[in-house]
Chain A
Amino acid sequence: MILLKLTQNELFKIFSLVRSYIGLIVFTVIIPLILWAYGMGTTHIEQQIESSVSEMFFIEGSPTNGFTAAYFIMNFFWIHIPFLIALVGGDIFAGEHANGTFRVYATRPISRLSIFVSKTLATMIYTFIFVMYFGLLTLGLGLIWHGVGDMLVFQDGVLILESSDALVRFFIAYFFSFINMALISAIAIFFSTMVRNAIGPVIGTMALFIFVLMVSTLPLDVFEHVQPYLFTTYFSNWEQAFYDPIPWTDLFIGFGLIVSNIIFFLGTAFIIFRRKDILS
């Protein structure tokens, strides 16, 4: 019961801050813009698709429909979203330290575990809402704007997914995207427990993300040995939701590694937070 109230408090605090809406506002502006631009300028892409597959398949509806548009945007955004997500996770502990409000909060008869769990839960709920809002805009608005049809996926050739199947695939993709973004939030929380200003954790999260991303993508022998153990190697695993058949084993290996990282960062963050003396 107390955990519920604490989480409710944390969500109230998150949504009372302007910075929590920055990412949502960015999506609200950019995604409709991309969808509009997508509608204006895919004639060339459409002709290419039709010339390559129309002789072999009958495509129901336009090949550049809402599903294709949503897939196109997801590919484009997965590297940018972490920065927007880290704005909230990075502030969740450090912001309270900077304001001095943590001193007030921590004198109440509440365990540090409860405080930590409630803040983590609230951050994860925010992350979920963030990913869902992204999904709602890309897929929902995409389907309204560009209509429903078979979905074309370019993966070792062209894969055509029926519209009913495509919708399920998107939900799977959003679920794995959420888990990936939850890891970004966990890293931001980890840095947030260590410092007393909210900028440091955001920069720290992005620096770590970019560093690990570089190591996981550079085709150098020395890095190839560690790449299977780096979380960024699995950050685009949501794409596998659109393969046929879905490689569930690969998906869950990536899922396991991401979840292990979440547990590691949150566990370490809790140890730091529990031992921390509040001196300011």
Chain B
Amino acid sequence: MARKGAGGSDPPKLHNRLAVLRAERGINRRELAEAVGINPQTVGFLERGDYGPSVELALRLAGFFNLPVEAIFSLTPFPAMSAQLYTPSTTGENS
């Protein structure tokens, strides 16, 4: 998951849901950092997308949240949570 691209081109941005998941679980950066063995500042860098984690760190984060890696990290932007929760089929408009 290293973000260093080859050939001098910019690497693709790695999108993640870390901030949402952290807020959902009610933990702060320090607690998450301690749980996965990194410095709290690095959690900030990860959440802002300024740093792409190694596979090992991504797996540790996935293990901590008990989710598959692709539920946390993606090369394409994640759809907005509201769009996922309130699609026409779930609101009953199509039923």
Q: Do A and B belong to a common assembly? A: no
B residues lining the A interface (CB < 8 Å): none
A residues lining the B interface (CB < 8 Å): none
